[in-house]
């Protein structure tokens, strides 16, 4: 699933092609995770795109009438293409723009979504989300205070979208490794000092992954068709049985919360 750096890469790639453009028509060929609401087709045409914002792993395309709420799901991608480009089997939604181009949503698994948020409202999917990991609201003190008394594994705590948004499986594993924290350690047993280091590593790794274009795993490609490059620099994720790049011990794999978790037992305590 595309994580925060991939979604932010998509936002940055789309912005120059969309902001200031007018949407002329919306074509929906197939339903996605949820049916595309009638409001999207009714209100978006003739609207000017004023801004594109990322909230967690969602993209918000803002217009005067309201905002389109987009999620890439497991395998979705957004591309700006020439208007005459014929649709393929997995090309499900097109926005026709006044630039003689289209914004095309492609999704082989159709787990993504395109929803509608009326002007001045917050969509229910966004209401209970935690702070952004790259914002001033997120730091070690925040994590330490929120974790007191929690017995859940620290990796699951870090991936809880009500705690902090956008830290998915890949980047949680990498941040915990960089901070030297075992992913199974109870969240309430991690010290304030170690949370300060973890918050710093989350921020550093996400910033670096965004700069590198995200992580290409299976399906993600950026709006210009280029892959992300952070995958080449992963320390533990997907490296079970390979030597740790720091100490040489074998990277281990376990399952936490039904997700594969990778760590080094020597470097992480």
Q: Report the candidate in 231, 269, 218 with the shortest Cα–Cα distance to residue 247.
A: 269
Q: Which parts are annotated binding residues for DNA?
A: 90, 109, 150
Task: Give the CATH number, domain containing residue 234.
Answer: 1.10.8.50
Band the pLDDT of 216: cuts 50, 70, 90: very low
Which of 88, 118, 148 is the last residue before a domain boundary? Answer: 118
Q: Give domain status of residue 134, yes or no.
A: no
Q: Give domain status of residue 47, yes or no.
A: yes
Question: Do 67 and 106 share a domain, yes or no?
Answer: yes
Band the pLDDT of 1: cuts 50, 70, 90: low
With a cut of 60, say whether residue 30 has pLDDT above it.
yes
Percentage of the chain beyond pLDDT 70 is: 93
Question: Do 83 and 166 share a domain, yes or no?
Answer: no
pLDDT digits (tens, 9 = 90+) for 231-240: 557 999 999 9
Question: Do 108 and 11 share a domain, yes or no?
Answer: yes
200: left (phi over 0), alpha (psi -120 to 50) or beta: alpha
Q: Give domain status of residue 131, yes or no.
A: no
Question: Do 8 and 108 share a domain, yes or no?
Answer: yes
- In this predicted structure, what is the pLDDT of residue 32? 95
pLDDT digits (tens, 9 = 90+) for 167-190: 999 999 999 999 999 999 999 999
- In this predicted structure, what is the pLDDT of residue 182? 98
pTM for this prediction: 0.88
- In this predicted structure, what is the pLDDT of residue 221? 47
Question: Do 107 and 209 share a domain, yes or no?
Answer: no
Q: Give domain status of residue 114, yes or no.
A: yes
Question: Do 80 and 151 share a domain, yes or no?
Answer: no
- Averaged pLDDT, 242-257: 97
Question: Do 146 and 89 share a domain, yes or no?
Answer: no
Total number of domains in the chain: 2
Residue 158: which domain range?
140-263
Question: Do 62 and 150 share a domain, yes or no?
Answer: no
Which of 70, 87, 118 is the last residue before a domain boundary? Answer: 118
Average pLDDT over the chain reads 92
Q: Which parts are annotated binding residues?
A: 90, 109, 150
Band the pLDDT of 199: cuts 50, 70, 90: very high
- In this predicted structure, what is the pLDDT of residue 229? 46
- In this predicted structure, what is the pLDDT of residue 140? 98
Question: Do 111 and 223 share a domain, yes or no?
Answer: no
pLDDT digits (tens, 9 = 90+) for 153-172: 999 999 999 999 999 999 99
- Report the catalytic residues: 2-3, 57, 259
With a cut of 90, say whether residue 37 has pLDDT above it.
yes
Q: In angstroms, how far is the first alpha carbon of the chain from the final one?
A: 28
180 vs 10, which has greater pLDDT?
Answer: 180
Q: Give domain status of residue 128, yes or no.
A: no
Pairing of strands 91-97, 259-263: unpaired
Q: Give domain status of residue 71, yes or no.
A: yes
Question: Do 18 and 94 share a domain, yes or no?
Answer: yes
Question: Do 109 and 159 share a domain, yes or no?
Answer: no
Band the pLDDT of 222: cuts 50, 70, 90: low
Q: Give domain status of residue 163, yes or no.
A: yes
- Averaged pLDDT, 143-147: 98
DSSP string, 184-235: TSBGGGS-HHHHHHHHHHHHHHHHHHHHTT----TT---TTSPPPSGGGG-S
Q: Give domain status of residue 129, yes or no.
A: no
With a cut of 90, say whether residue 151 has pLDDT above it.
yes
Structure tokens at 27: 């074509």
- In this predicted structure, what is the pLDDT of residue 3? 84
Task: Give the CATH number, domain containing residue 43.
Answer: 3.20.190.10
Question: Do 257 and 146 share a domain, yes or no?
Answer: yes
- For 41, counting Cβ atoms within 10 Å of its Cβ (0-12 exposed, 13-18 middle, 19+ buried), the class is middle
Q: Report the candidate in 72, 80, 61, 69 with the shortest Cα–Cα distance to residue 19.
A: 61
């Amino acid at each position: 699933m595309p994580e925060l750096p991939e979604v932010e890469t998509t936002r940055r790639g789309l912005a120059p092609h969309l902001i200031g453009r007018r949407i002329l028509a919306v074509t929906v060929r197939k339903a996605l995770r949820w049916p595309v609401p009638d409001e999207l087709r009714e209100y978006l045409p003739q609207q000017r795109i004023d801004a594109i914002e990322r909230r967690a792993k969602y993209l918000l395309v803002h217009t005067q009438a309201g905002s389109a709420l987009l999620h890439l799901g497991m395998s979705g991608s957004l591309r700006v293409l020439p208007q005459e480009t014929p649709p393929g089997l997995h090309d499900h939604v097109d926005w026709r723009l006044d630039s003689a181009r289209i914004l095309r949503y492609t999704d082989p698994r159709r787990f993504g979504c395109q929803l509608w948020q009326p002007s001045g409202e917050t969509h229910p999917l966004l209401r209970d989300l935690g702070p952004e990991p790259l914002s001033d609201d997120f730091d070690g003190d925040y994590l330490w205070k929120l974790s007191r008394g929690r017995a859940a594994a620290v990796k699951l705590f870090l991936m809880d979208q009500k705690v902090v948004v956008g830290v998915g499986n890949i980047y949680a594993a990498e941040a915990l490794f960089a901070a030297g924290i075992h992913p199974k350690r109870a969240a309430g047993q991690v010290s304030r000092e170690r949370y300060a280091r973890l918050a710093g590593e989350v921020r550093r790794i996400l910033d670096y992954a965004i700069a590198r274009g995200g992580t290409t795993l299976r399906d993600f490609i950026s709006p210009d068709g280029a892959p992300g490059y952070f995958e080449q620099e992963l320390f533990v994720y997907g490296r079970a049985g390979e030597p740790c790049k720091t100490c040489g011990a074998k990277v281990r794999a376990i399952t936490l919360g039904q997700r594969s978790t990778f760590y080094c037992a020597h470097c992480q305590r």
